Amino acid sequence: MIKSAPSVYGGEKMQKEQLIQIRRDLHQIPEIGFQEVKTQQYLLNILNQFPSERLEIKTWRTGIFALVKGTNPKKTIGYRADIDGLPITEETGYDFQSTHPGYMHACGHDFHMTIALGILSHFIENPIEDHVLFLFQPAEEGPGGAEPMLNSEIAMQWKPDIITALHIAPELPVGTIATKPGLLFANTSELFIDLKGKGGHAAYPHNTNDMVVAACSLVTQLQSIVARNVDPLDSAVITIGKITGGTVQNIIAENARLEGTIRTLSVESMEKVKERIEALVKGLEIGYSCQAVIDYGAMYHQVYNEEALTAEFMEYTAEQTDFDVQLCTEAMTGEDFGYMVSQIPGFMFWLGVGSPYGLHHAKLTPNEKAIEVAVEVMAKYITFKSEQK
Query: Which residues are marked as active site?
Result: 82, 141
Strand, coil or helix: 339: helix
Going from the C-alpha of 364 to that of each of 84, 179, 226, the distances in angstroms are 16, 22, 30
Instruction: Find the farthest-apart pair of alpha carbons in the chain and give their distance in angstroms, rounded.
Output: 80
Task: 67-72: list long-range contacts, CB under 8 Å, 24+ apart.
Answer: 67/131, 67/132, 67/133, 67/134, 67/158, 68/120, 68/123, 68/124, 68/131, 68/132, 68/133, 68/134, 69/131, 70/127, 70/128, 70/129, 70/130, 70/131, 70/132, 70/386, 71/127, 71/128, 71/129, 72/129
Q: How far apart are CA 151 and CA 154, in angstroms?
A: 8
Q: How far apart are CA 46 and CA 333, in angstroms?
A: 31
Which amino acid is it at 2?
I
Strand, coil or helix: 263: strand
Q: How far apart are CA 378 and CA 267, in angstroms?
A: 31
CB 144 within 8 A of CB 78: no
CB 130 within 8 A of CB 75: yes
Q: Cis link prior to 143 (omega < 30° from 0)? A: yes
Q: What are phi and psi of 115, to 5 degrees?
A: -60, -45
Q: How far apart are CA 177 and CA 351, in angstroms?
A: 5
191 CB-side CA count, 13 A:
22
CB 28 within 8 A of CB 99: yes
CB 368 within 8 A of CB 23: yes
- In this structure, what DSSP letter does residue 86 have? B
Nearest CA among 181, 185, 9, 14 for reference residue 113:
14
